[in-house]
Amino acid sequence: MVRVALVGFGAVGRGFADAVLGGAPVDVDVVLVADSSSVAVDGDGLDLASVKKRKEDEGVVGDGEDTVGALEEAEYDVLVEASPTTLGDAEPAFGYMMTAIDNGAHVVTSNKGPLAMRYAELMEKADEAGVEVRMEGAVGGAIPTINTVRESLAGDDVSGVRGILNGTCNFILTRMLEEGLTYEHVLGEAQDMGIAESDPTFDVEGIDTALKCVILSNVLFEGERTLDDVDVDGITEVTPDSLRLARESGHVVKLVGEVSEDALSVAPRLVPEGHALDVGGTLNVVSFDADLAGEVTVTGHGAGSSETASALVSDLTAVVRKS
């Protein structure tokens, strides 16, 4: 039985709870749940269904208020950190992770902030403590991007990565091309459908893709890159005419993130029709340039609570089976 502390009870955190309630591949006792304003703790294991209901009815998960204090005092084996991404110092998520590592707990996270802004500090602390930090849910949701680098291509020299890492942008560009609609029109559609946030800046300005590129770079090249190291251009200036002209030349326009040891970039790019990066809708795709394996491409749905929860459960299972 693995004891889990779950921090973050938004869509992803609740998706993880649903996965545990539905039967995870390993036996899980969630002993701590925290949202942005409250904490519930039970060393014998919380009733997740009751925690979910209280969140729905009252907007809180418990009676406690001090997440860091609860993480310091509780006994758990793994912290599942699914709180909202913040930039700058990446707090409070960075502090939650460091507290868990101080307690000798592994960390499984979908939070891009600490991984993109303070990766080196986090990994140095984890190495000193002899614990793992796993992050599949932070890059590409259910698509095995990090694990492809760390495991499938572990014996290979991966020189670069390029991919479509934001389903919202891909949906918008696909609809604009198919229907000849303006960016503003399709953005409204995406917001109505729940594909885009009410404030879509993080996605459409390329920031989300840039953070994922930083994380991939840090994992691949053991670096200390941050968001400041990425040249970023989003999709807000893409027009139906530019998409039409691209198609007439046998291309589509996609927001592509590119990672190499020398540079990181995110921008709308011309992609030949039928190319591996020519995927539609909310799909994500990532291609790795490997010395021995050649080009390795993985495709799937990168966003959504269930997809990200799947990645969290996968990482949790890997930690337990490795321990």
Per-residue model confidence as pLDDT tens digits over 18-29:
999 998 888 899
Q: What is the mean pLDDT of residues 34-55?
A: 96
Tell me, which fold does domain 147-301 have in CATH? Dihydrodipicolinate Reductase; domain 2 (3.30.360)
Q: How sure is the predictor about 322, in pLDDT bands with cuts at 50, 70 and 90?
A: confident
Q: In the CATH hierarchy, which top-level class contains the domain 2-141+305-322?
A: alpha beta
d(CA 309, CA 27): 16
Instruction: Check pLDDT > 70 for residue 303.
Output: no
| Helix (H) or strand (E) segment spanning residue 183 | helix 183-193
The response to whether 23 counts as a known ligand-binding position is: no
Range(s) of the chain covered by CATH 3.40.50.720: 2-141+305-322
Contacts by 170-173 with C-beta closer than 8 Å and gap 24+?
170/254, 170/255, 170/279, 170/280, 170/281, 170/282, 170/283, 170/284, 171/195, 171/196, 171/281, 171/282, 172/196, 172/204, 172/235, 173/235, 173/238, 173/243, 173/252, 173/253, 173/254, 173/255, 173/268
pLDDT range class, residue 306, cuts 50, 70, 90? confident
Residue 188's pLDDT is: 96
CA-to-CA distance for 242 and 221, rounded, in angstroms?
Answer: 35
Query: Is the CB of residue 209 less than 8 Å from the CB of residue 257?
Result: yes
> What is the residue-averaged pLDDT of the chain?
94
Cite the active site residues. 212
pLDDT of 123 strictly over 90? yes
The model's pLDDT over 173-193, given as tens digits with 9 standing for 90+, comes to 999 999 999 999 999 999 999
Indicate where the chain has its CATH 3.30.360.10 domain(s). 147-301
Residue 197 labelled as part of a binding site: yes
Which residue reads 């904490």 in tokens? 39
- pTM across the whole model: 0.94
202 is in an annotated binding site: no
The answer to whether 142 and 308 are in contact (CB under 8 A) is yes
